[in-house]
């Protein structure tokens, strides 16, 4: 295991330690501008995702509503068609039942 002295010899931190190069000074305004730009880009990305999710949800909701309306329309049409087809049979049965009731009564 390397001692701290051996480690420092191979990994100098600054100009005082065996000819190392000092880190460039940090410009706080530049650093803050980069952080702000990163946060703003992240916020915009999240807003895009949120807007896309909202649009997809709206499209799905509208699709479900249209599907339900179509089901109701087709279901209503089918009931109407069956009702029109069944009406003569129901009328015939009612007439026979009425005639039978008169004959009995």
Per-residue DSSP letters for 76-98?
HHHHHHHHHHHHHHHHHHHHHHH
Q: Read off the pLDDT of each residue in 61-74 and give the average, rounded to a whole number.
A: 81
pTM: 0.41
pLDDT at 26: 79
Confidence of residue 36 (pLDDT cuts 50, 70, 90): very high
Q: Is pLDDT at 42 greater than 70 in this prediction?
A: yes
The DSSP secondary structure of 30-81, one letter per residue, reads HHHHHHHHHHHHHHHHHHHHHHHHHHHHHHHHHHHHHHHHHHHHHHHHHHHH
Query: What pLDDT band is residue 20 in, cutting at 50, 70 and 90?
Result: low
Closest CA to 24 of 16, 32, 14, 34: 14
The domain locations on the chain are 27-100
Q: What percent of the chain has pLDDT over 70?
A: 68
The answer to whether 22 and 14 have CB atoms below 8 angstroms apart is: yes
């Amino acid at each position: 295991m390397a001692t701290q002295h051996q480690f420092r010899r191979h990994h100098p931190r600054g100009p005082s330690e065996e000819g190392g190069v000092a880190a460039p000074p940090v410009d706080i305004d530049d650093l803050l501008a980069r952080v702000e730009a990163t946060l703003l880009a992240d916020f915009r990305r999240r807003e895009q995702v949120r807007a896309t999710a909202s649009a997809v949800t709206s499209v799905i909701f509208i699709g479900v509503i249209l599907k339900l309306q179509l089901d109701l329309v087709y279901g209503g049409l089918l009931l109407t068609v069956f009702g029109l087809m069944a009406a003569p049979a129901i009328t015939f049965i009612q007439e026979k039942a009425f005639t039978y009731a008169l004959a009995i009564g």
